[in-house]
Amino acid sequence: MIQITPQMRVLVAVEPADFRSGIDGLARVCRQSLLSDPFSGAVFVFRNRRGTGLRLLVYDGQGFWLCYKRLSSGRFRWWPADATKPVTTLQAHELQVLFCGGDPGATRAAPVWRSVNERA
């Protein structure tokens, strides 16, 4: 079973991925385009060109997980558009919002960490 925890790095590929490629193809994209190690334990998130499906690639220490979510209708409304960077990051709770077809940037969650001595 795969569990996405707040401590995990979530890396989102900006460019759409070819969903005909499997684990090896997406791992190659991680290395060549995203300049990241697919064996690092990070969660890599890819979107298809039409914006109707997401793929997650995660290495858990024993092997790779490849998960796929396709919306029954409509498209994922949010996707990073910064063409200057090949990858962007999300927090675990923002990934959950993305899974539901929402906008992770619109979440109003507490920061992941803040200093105890800091006064607001």
Q: Is the pLDDT of residue 119 over 80?
A: no
Output the average pLDDT for the chain: 88
Give the model's pLDDT for residue 5: 85
Give the pTM. 0.86
Q: CA-CA distance, 55 to 57, in Å (whole number)?
A: 7
Q: Is the pLDDT of residue 94 over 70?
A: yes
Task: Write out pLDDT tens, residues 20-59.
Answer: 989 999 999 999 999 999 999 999 999 999 999 999 999 9
The Cα 52–Cα 69 span in angstroms is 8
